[in-house]
Amino acid sequence: MKKLNVLGNSSSPHLRTWLRVLPARFNVVVYDIHTNRPSIIDSSLTPIIVPLARVFRFTGKLVQYTALGLWLRWFCRRDGLLHAHNASGYGLSALLSGRDYIVTVYGSEIYNAHQRGLIYNWILKEIISSSKLVTTSSDHMRSTIVKKYGLRPERIFSKMLLDPIFLEANEEDRRGQVRTWFVNRRMAELYCTISVVEAFKTFIGSGGVGALVLLEGDADTHYAARVRAATVGCSSIEIITGFVDQDKLIEHLSRSHFCISVPESDQFSSSILEGAACGVIPILRNLESYKAVSDISIVLRADDGLKGALVSMFRETASLSDSSIKLMSRKARNFAMKNFSYREFINSFADAINEVKQS
């Protein structure tokens, strides 16, 4: 099997998903700069290397990404392609390595690039333009990159990876009578967590009944504190602290009726499909990148403003009949099972890598 050197955060659920399928076609080694968080990857199956670990503990991220790139350039054997997981961080390491690389881009670093400075945008363009292949999770992101950075469409691999553990999960339905909404995104301003909390409290305050579950994940400490402050006085809100393993996540999803994803901008997120695979009905903002799942989702009305649309959504979904929810739940699960085979994904990805190596 070909070697693939993955540059990424070993405490990231995103990378964990990739590493469930990459070993089927590649010999994988992970290079990581994150020394302050525990790895959630099985290092007995996938070697994890943290070069200059003592140095990394006392430096900022920019220095760490730069040092990793130079270490790869000067001290690491040049065998195997590099695969950077996020353009604006590990992509910089890959660029500085002087080696062939591919890069997986995140929605926030592309869609929110206009909020950054000129230097950030110039470096990001260099990272993306110099890569042999860019991977994304949606056709909308592909068209954005083509338009914004002038890449040819054939240099972009656009396909969503759904962790097989969700497809293989027990279909047991643990949902009770009380409507439960789960925000299967980490607490972040990008994901409008506080807006969801405020809308839910308005719904409860007007006589509504239900439960809201929030996932802390690797949230910014200050924003997480603001979210916790916003939930004070509402016993119907549960916060899952820190990271949860996937068995626990599946357990929480199997008790939820709806999963909420309402960022201002996003590419197609695997968290939506993880919920759908567990029979949870997606509730989504009206984004171009979400159109692929609009047939199984409840899409917020754009003309109400976010908080107004969320309050209306809570009221309307709370009043849905059990039979309607069961029908929509089954439709969501069937959609995920039918359209997101991880075997098809990894085979297509391996084919794309072969084309890169031959070009």
The angle, 0 to 180 degrees and rounded to 10, between the axes of the packed helices 90-97 and 118-130 is 60
Mean pLDDT calculated for residue range 138-160: 89
Residue 117 pLDDT exceeds 80: yes
Q: How many residues does the chain have?
A: 359
For residue 40, the one-letter residue type is: I
- Dump pLDDT digits (tens) for 198-236: 999 999 999 999 999 999 887 788 999 999 999 999 999
Residue 158 has pLDDT above 70, yes or no: yes
Residue 172, pLDDT score: 59
* Overall average pLDDT of the 308-332 stretch: 94
- Tell me how far apart the alpha carbons of residues 301 and 321 are, in angstroms, rounded to a whole number: 21
Mean pLDDT of 73-94: 91
Q: Is the pLDDT of residue 140 over 90?
A: no
Per-residue pLDDT at 45 exceeds 80: no
CA–CA dist 113, 116 (Å, integer): 5
Decide if 296 contacts 332 (C-beta within 8 A): yes
pLDDT given for residue 111 in this prediction? 79
DSSP string, 222-233: HHHHHHHHHHTT
Is-contact 333 274, C-beta < 8 A?
Answer: no
User: Is-above-0.75 flag for pTM?
Assistant: yes
Percent of all residues in the chain with a pLDDT value above 90, rounded to a whole number: 48
Interatomic CA distance for residues 105 and 148, integer angstroms? 14
Tens digit of each residue's pLDDT (9 = 90 or more) over 228-284: 999 999 999 999 987 777 888 888 898 999 999 998 776 678 889 999 999 999 999
Q: Where in the chain is the domain with CATH 3.40.50.2000?
A: 2-161+341-358, 165-339
Distance CA 182, CA 281 (A): 10
Superfamily of domain 2-161+341-358: Glycogen Phosphorylase B; (3.40.50.2000)
Check residue 326 and give its pLDDT: 92
Q: Tell me the CATH number for domain 165-339.
A: 3.40.50.2000
- Dihedral sign, Cα of residue 212, residue 218, residue 219, residue 222: positive
Number of Cβ within 10 Å of residue 178's Cβ equals 12
Of 45-54, 110-119, 168-177, 304-313, least confident by mean pLDDT is 168-177
